[in-house]
Structure 1
């Protein structure tokens, strides 16, 4: 058995979030942050490899409320600093600007951590170089949130471009996560089920596509979906990170529909409260019994 269920590789972000009503909140964020809390607080043995212009003590303190997390901090000359302005109550439309970025991860920086899954959780293109994917595949099952290959920083703004090397690198990927818009960029298809099937044909073994109404998973045999049932969206930030982290960890010991249902209940509950998931597995199970 591996020492950890998952090793999550990605930078901590310093976020300023401006809601549609003008409410402004400054907070730590990033895929590694939301994913780490989600995986650890439902009971998975979780390691994180965050990078930022912060001391090791500060990076460890960021995860203090997730006691199952082991932090391997990495320094950077700058942190990822971003501002997100949300335009609608459902937080589906936002404008993001970036004022600084981390030094890219290098394979030689990654410690010898024994984990069943390496979860590549960068924020923009360049954080995690393409060569890190086959390197990761030599050590563990690879999970990747494709945002870090599609989101590009240009003149301080965030824009999306297709991933030129996708067909070369997707065969290394066990778990691939996109949202509906990213799936369309990758495949040209608006039908999420058909997009998932095409991504599978390019080599990824299990595809998750998130949407504000449901989460879809395709494993090469069947399309599975589960509805999101949040009663409010005050904790919308970190939705995809929470879902994916919950799913890939649950898949280590459960079948697709069981893992998908747990992950969707987890994110539905998380979205009712701002910040990362601070509840327990028992909370998720109770929520699942009530709403699923």
Structure 2
């Protein structure tokens, strides 16, 4: 079994609360990322852990051509994402369930990929030994969200960890948002944080924030803005941007062009709840606009 990208992470039963609006939806980095990678025509597999009764929630992945390898466990992960101000980037995240940490035996025997994309959303989801095992199979793209999350007073918060450098040195590509970047580097400026993160191992660092994306690759910065007309699709922003960047890099784009494309696609996603279901033609038109 050979794929372009094998996504490893919990698929989630999320609840979104935005102002007076409340609804449940599938979620997780692998969920949002798979739609982008498939839109780019890449061969995608998802290795996840979830309860059997929740498999129907993710049937759409099969319909778009994703190969799903679920490990059945008693409980599916889930997060309640509360946005007190619909137009604000601030959100409160509360856990609704946990599917347990990944183990080497969760990977299908003989699975191969050009890139292994790990998108943990929960603390304890990707143990260090498991990441080491995956890194022995091929290049790793790592989203540090679940690595840095801690449960504090019922809320998932970001905090530094003593062994975070052990995770970073195993990643070829690394993604963090502005809060996570500060936890990794100790500084608030993304331009200052990126080199400090890269010095710990990652070859390319992708930092997302409310205004756009900053990429550091081969010693050069590449900055591109998000320009959405609304933030109706705020949940999944970073997952979408990172996946778009990774996909275009696998297709041969240099870092600058991959970052530019990722910013445009993420702009479109931010305007609509759920994963990116637009067309590449929409992205092309946006890239061509003033």
Same fold (TM over 0.5): yes
Q: Give ranges in structure 2 of 5+ residues lacking alignment.
A: none
Residue 285 of structure 1 corresponds to 284
CA positional deviation for 1:60: 5.0
The secondary structure found in structure 2 opposite 1:153 is strand
Residue 217 of structure 2 corresponds to 219
The secondary structure found in structure 2 opposite 1:275 is coil
The secondary structure found in structure 2 opposite 1:269 is helix
Q: How many residues align?
A: 288
How far apart, in 1, do the equivalents of 2:58 and 2:93 lie? 26
The secondary structure found in structure 2 opposite 1:73 is strand
CA contact (8 A) 1:179 1:209 kept: yes
Consecutive aligned runs of 4 or more in structure 1 exceeding 6 Å deviation: none
How far apart, in 1, do the equivalents of 2:27 and 2:234 lie? 12
CA positional deviation for 1:262: 1.1
How far apart, in 2, do the equivalents of 1:163 and 1:39 lie? 30
Residue 272 of structure 2 corresponds to 273
Q: Provide closer, same or farther for how the CA distance between residues 19 and 60 of structure 1 changes in structure 2, counting only shifts above 3 A.
A: closer
1:131-171 residue CA offsets vs partner (Å, 9 max, x unmatched): 12221111111001000111122453212221321222322
CA contact (8 A) 2:26 2:58 kept: no
Residue 67 of structure 2 corresponds to 70
Residue 209 of structure 1 corresponds to 207
Q: Give ranges in structure 1 of 5+ residues lacking alignment.
A: none
How far apart, in 2, do the equivalents of 1:176 and 1:206 lie? 6
Q: Report the TM-score when normalising by structure 2.
A: 0.94
Residue 263 of structure 1 corresponds to 262
Q: Provide closer, same or farther for how the CA distance between residues 57 and 188 of structure 1 changes in structure 2, counting only shifts above 3 A.
A: closer
Q: Provide closer, same or farther for how the CA distance between residues 131 and 97 of structure 1 changes in structure 2, counting only shifts above 3 A.
A: same
1:110-144 residue CA offsets vs partner (Å, 9 max, x unmatched): 11322111000110220111112221111111001
How far apart, in 1, do the equivalents of 2:204 and 2:140 lie? 11
**Most deviating of 139-148 and 44-53:** 44-53
Q: Report the TM-score when normalising by structure 1.
A: 0.93
1:207-235 residue CA offsets vs partner (Å, 9 max, x unmatched): 01101111000014111111111122111
Q: Provide closer, same or farther for how the CA distance between residues 62 and 74 of structure 1 changes in structure 2, counting only shifts above 3 A.
A: farther
**Most deviating of 128-137 and 236-245:** 128-137
